[in-house]
Chains A and B, each alone.
Chain A
Amino acid sequence: MDLAFTKEEQAFREEVRSFFRDNVPPDTRRKLVEGRHLSKDEMVTWWRILNKKGWGVSHWPKQYGGTGWTSVQHYIFNEELQSYPAPQPLAFGVSMVGPVIYTFGNEEQKKKYLPRIANVDDWWCQGFSEPGSGSDLASLKTKAERKGDKWIINGQKTWTTLAQHADMIFCLCRTDPAAKKQMGISFIVFSMNSKGVTVRPIQTIDGGAEVNEVFFDDVEVPIENLIGEENKGWDYAKFLLGNERTGIARVGVSKERLRRIRDLAGKVESAGRPIIEDAAFREKLAACEIELKALELTQLRVVADEGKHGKGKPNPASSVLKIKGSEIQQTTTELLMEVIGPFAAPYDVHGDDGSNEAMDWTAQIAPSYFNNRKVSIYGGSNEIQRNIIAKAVLGL
């Protein structure tokens, strides 16, 4: 047992850190620190910088543009990226559909899609959830019917994150209505500009609109857009969801937020002195830091295990990551609310135009608190995670 990073790993951390320092556009970083939404341009600009460096799809196999890093290097990269902070690669392309295509797709599909995913020439979105199929995803109803050399797709997806920017969607569609629920599903990709695709924004409680409803009305999709085998889509979906076990803890994100809390708590006054001098507040902050330290260690255990024994058999501790990671993210947003106190209330009517400087740093704190309620719901709600632990780990 050894907690220390090797010299090479420490040098790698320095390299990554200084690359971020020199290359992340300062305004992009500031907006992330303040919890603001980024424009499509801001995100794509950064991802292309990352891709030019060769780090856009770092965890892919080398022949498709990956880096060949060790699992510890991936961990360091992610931690530095999250805690700088810089925008994380677009998960829907880089972490989700990309690995499905290079694992199950044919040569033509790999050639066609992978480089465009890496450079974000196509913005991808995920067509999984439906109004009637949330946690019970396999009950989905959107159907794809084969008609000559085309699929005809009808149905509705929901919670489609950033679909308003998307060029492409990967979609779970029912292709065999007679089969048992998991068996008749296929994994089909197509253009969001296809005729019959309608995107309608859903306004969320933070005032933002990062999720959408997407409607398919007789959308015609070329037959070759099926990935892998027909009716095997559920397997690919499970592969996709199981692929990213460690990033989900978002330890770096929470670290960055805790540093911000400490910084703000040194400036904001309560009872005539900085709130950090209040013992009760300090203890709450310490409690959160300790939880995060434990989570970081749990994550490192999983990372070290993967590095040594491969990704084949997941470490049981990996199921802790989503539950604790989301709880801690939510706690950090609660602590931020506590720091700013009554200044949580004003609504950011001016946006980020600099006209209300006094408020700039508080404006996004309440929305960020509201928005972060999602993290224990998405990606398999924490209740589903507990079902998984009960079944897969405890054998209940």
Chain B
Amino acid sequence: MDFDLSEEQRLLKESIDGLLTDSYDFESRKKYMKEKGGWSKAVWLKLADQGLLGLPFSEADGGFGGGGVETMIVMEALGKALVLEPYLPTVVIGGGFLRHAGTDAQKAAHVPGIVDGSKTLAFAQLEKNSRYDLFDVTTTAKKKGDGWIIDGEKFVVLNGENADTLIVTARTKGDRRDKTGIGVFLVPADAKGVTKKSYPTQDGLHAADISFTGVEVGADAALGNPEDSLALIERVVDEARIALCAEAVGLMDESLKTTVEYIKTRKQFGVPIGSFQSLQHRASDMFVAAEQARSMSMFATMAGDFEDAKERTIAIAAAKVQIGKSLKFVGQQAIQLHGGIGMTMEAKIGHYFKRLTMIENTFGDTDYHQRRVADSGGLI
């Protein structure tokens, strides 16, 4: 039992915190947001320079062999700085599919570009009516010769505008909600028949709705078993959920810190408003919520390595519930304690609140995961 970081992990944390302190203040972020696709290529290359984009890949694949804890450290830091760059879709999700299911050739084709920062990925999974069920897939991949033809529509694909490669879930067999017959395909973003409609998201990121019309890909496009990849998708999405939990912890830490600083300095009735007990208690409750979230983020990180897939996924669901409840409380109260200024685009706290809010609704919200835990027969 040990919750401390190792020496290498501590150094990793210092290095990414240092990098973001230097290059990611709130004003710079506003500039990055205006670049193509909504994030800064220069910052992305700095992350590559520090080895962060290759972190989870094995050394044989050109990475650094980092595990769950390393990803947690990075995601927390990215959250704390409210980073826009597509670490989640490219390194965590895209990288996850390649690590768990990529053939040597697929890895050779995609991993080096991720590691050196020249290529980014996006995960085209959500459909109009699929909501949070990963097996609810209507996009089809039909066999044609050795390859596949993909048809369907995907929504809110993060980094969809800039991504070089799309990772697409598509049905090779069966009906809409069947748990078998689902495949995962690597599709070049510029393939014929791919149409993108890009837009900024509420939290300042960028996403795209993408339609696939008769998109032809080769036999080497399939990641894993094209007829039975739900377990793979669940595993990678679980890793994305773990990463989101860590990002939310970083966001909550910064939200609490910013709020406490604000109520220490903002004066009304001739005194700092932080001297009022009602505000002190609210801030204390925010601290409690953030600590409970941190505990569950650590739990989720460690659960990522559980052997038993059911045990793993329920533990991560439980973590997402705790994070969802904590982030809602911390986010809302951070605005409340800031008062009117918290309602403005100018103050940074609102932007933290918006990112936190979107995390709750990504890959399963609180109710969705609570139901999963409830139906699993319990956690205790």
Contacts and interface: CB of A to CB of B under 8 A. Distances in A.
Contact of B299 (A5, A293, A386): A293
A390 B4 contact: no
A291 B322 contact: yes
A383 B9 CA distance: 37
B281 interface: yes
A259 B377 CA distance: 11
Contact of B374 (A255, A285, A291): A285
A285 B318 CA distance: 12
B260 A396 contact: yes
A40 interface: no
The main secondary structure of chain B at its interface with chain A is helix
Interface stretch (A53-61, A92-100, A296-304): A296-304
Contacts of A282: 374-375
B93 to A, nearest CB: 22
Interface stretch (B20-28, B155-163, B283-291): B283-291
Interface in A211-242: none
A396 B275 CA distance: 7
B284 A293 contact: no
B379 interface: yes
B280 interface: yes
A297 B296 contact: yes
Given A283-B371, A320-B292, A2 B260 contact: no
Nearest to A299: B295
Contacts of A387: 277, 280-281, 284
B281 A383 contact: yes
Contacts of B321: 286-287, 290
A50 interface: no
A1 B4 contact: yes
Given A1-B4, A286-B374, A308-B4, A259 B287 contact: no
B280 A300 contact: no
27 contacts: A1-B4, A1-B5, A1-B69, A255-B380, A285-B374, A286-B321, A289-B373, A290-B318, A290-B321, A290-B370, A292-B380, A293-B299, A293-B380, A295-B292, A297-B298, A304-B1, A304-B4, A307-B1, A316-B291, A317-B291, A320-B291, A324-B288, A390-B284, A394-B280, A394-B283, A395-B264, A396-B274
* A-B residue pairs, 9 tightest by C-beta: A297-B295, A390-B280, A286-B374, A389-B284, A386-B284, A282-B374, A3-B302, A289-B379, A294-B292
Given A290-B318, A293-B379, A389-B288, 17 more contacts: A1-B5, A1-B298, A255-B380, A262-B378, A286-B321, A289-B378, A290-B321, A290-B370, A294-B322, A298-B291, A317-B291, A320-B291, A386-B285, A387-B281, A391-B280, A394-B260, A394-B280
